[in-house]
Structure 1
Amino acid sequence: MSDDTSASAAPSERTRVKRYHWLARYDRATVEQILDATPLAHVGCQMDGVPFVTPTFFWREGDRVYWHGSAAGRMFKVLESQDVCFTVSMLDGLVLARTSYNFNCNFRSVMILGRASLITDPAEKEAHLRTFVNGLVPGQWDRLRPPTEKEIAVTALASMSIDEASCKVRVGPPEDDEADYAFPAWAGVIPIRYQVLPPEPDPRNLPGLEMPEDVLKFTLG
């Protein structure tokens, strides 16, 4: 992939990619495409002087990412006192080269740095959580029992701007040293994709309860 970033935003010094810099992308469109392709992220921060990375469901609304968890969780108690590292990554293929040194993978990743903020207003919390649920399965929020005040209260909700972000994207075949193309070892790419399987009903569903059409239509990305 070429190192053409002429249409990209300028990175900050913290997000400028140094290793394999030709894979870097800084434009907002690429950032949003990767964020919207999966609901799973990892949030890194320090707790009691120890670095922790927490997997979490997330969603994007405009120029901010949101994630939720338990209000009693340690992460939500320290988020507003430090910058955090928010990452999303997807493995798209195993790249088999002619030497172990050039083995690689095709992938997409985003790293966002910044200070998160907690959302504490119950009505605002509920509105964002509705967006999250309906973003996974359209209309699902209104099919569910409404959340109680206690459930909203014990749910922590954080958001962070995606202004300070960088991406790395690799596609294509192996890149071997020129002399190694004559070596008789098979090389190529094993594509890897997420697979969404048919929904499995809860055995305790009420009799005659039909699966919503939107559940059948669920996809990632």
Structure 2
Amino acid sequence: MSPTERSTVRRGARRARPDREALHAVLDAGLVGHLGVVVDGAPRVLPTGYGRVGEVLYLHGSTGARSLREAAGAQVCFTVTLLDGVVYARSAFHHSVDYRCAVVHGAARVVEDDAERERALEALTEHLAPGSWSATRRPTGKELAATAVLALDLHEAAVKVRTGGPADDEADLASDEHDWAGVLPLVTAWGAPVPAPDLRPGAAVPDRVRRRPAPGGDPRG
């Protein structure tokens, strides 16, 4: 990546990851991001699902959503953060978290081309629930008309990652007053599938649901 003025990591710059593979890895491992947009002169940050196709990130929502209407053609910020663990230090000051974070800046573009809209909605569906686009009914014309799709280019982005244990001060390392320091990893896992109450009796859970890998990817990259 080629950092711009607003995408250059300054605080904790050693944790920046400059390659596009790192950006893709964070985006692909997350499920929910946060879209920052200015509405009526004030910032508004909203959680939203997304999907990636190459170097383009797609967002979607209701055409009635004020935030999406304001985002269209405007400069926005989109973030995805994955929490991998809590870092316990010998001092309160050095407590921290292990994490992976991606921040994308740019102008959100309204997707109007029918073919691109279909690719975007497929990417959004497959990112949320892999294998579902081909296994379920496609959107109707009415549903498409009620859905706004935005595209955000990944050209201007930054990735920051923290791994490892606490960065304790030398004086604290030499002290016997502190009982423990280290990392408590956060592991995310799916629960058992819960069938819809109106599902036909005996319907089997498909492999795309039953064998879906744990979310979050590998924090070690």
Counterpart-to-counterpart distance in 1, 2:125 and 2:73: 28
Counterparts of residues 1-221 of structure 1 (less than 5 Å) = 9-183=1-175, 184-185=177-178, 186-219=180-213, 220=215, 221=217
- For 2:133 and 2:27, locate their aligned partners in 1 and report how far apart those are by CA, in whole Å: 22
Moved more, 183-192 or 42-51: 183-192
SS in 1 for 2:123: helix
Structure-1-length-normalised TM-score: 0.90
The residue type paired with residue 199 of structure 1 is P
- AA matched with 2:38: Q
For these two proteins, the number of residue pairs brought into alignment is 213
Identity of aligned residues (%): 39
Alignment check: 8 A CA contact 1:44 1:53 kept: yes
SS of the aligned residue for 2:93 comes to helix
- State the alpha-carbon separation in 2 of the partners of residues 10 and 142 from structure 1: 37
Does the CA contact (< 8 Å) of 2:75 and 2:106 recur in 1? yes
CA distance in 1, matches of 2:144, 2:73: 23
CA-CA distance at 1:63 after TM superposition: 0.5
Q: Which runs of 5+ in 2 are unaligned?
A: none
2:83–2:99 contact (8 Å) kept in structure 1:
yes
Unpaired runs of at least 5, structure 1: 1-8
CA contact (8 A) 1:122 1:152 kept: no
Q: CA RMSD in A?
A: 1.5
Q: Which residue of 2 aligns with 1:5?
A: none
Cα distance in 1, alignment partners of residues 115 and 38 from structure 2: 30
The residue type paired with residue 116 of structure 1 is A
* 1:14 partner letter: R
Please, what TM-score do these two structures have when normalized by structure 2? Answer: 0.90
Match of 1:4 in 2: none
- Distance in 2 of aligned mates of 1:127 and 1:23: 34
Q: How big is each residue's C-alpha offset from its partner over 1:31-86, in whole Å with a ceiling of 9 and x where there is no partner?
A: 11111111210010100111000100111110011111001101221223421011
SS of aligned partner of 1:140: coil
Q: Give 3-state SS (helix, strand or coil) of 1:215's partner.
A: helix
Off by >6 Å, runs of 4+ in structure 1: none
For residues 150-186 of structure 1, what are the alpha-carbon distances to aligned partners after superposition, in whole Å with 9 as ceiling and x for unaligned? Answer: 1011011111111111111010010111111022311
Please tell me whether the aligned partners of residues 31 and 127 of structure 2 are also in contact (alpha carbons under 8 angstroms).
no
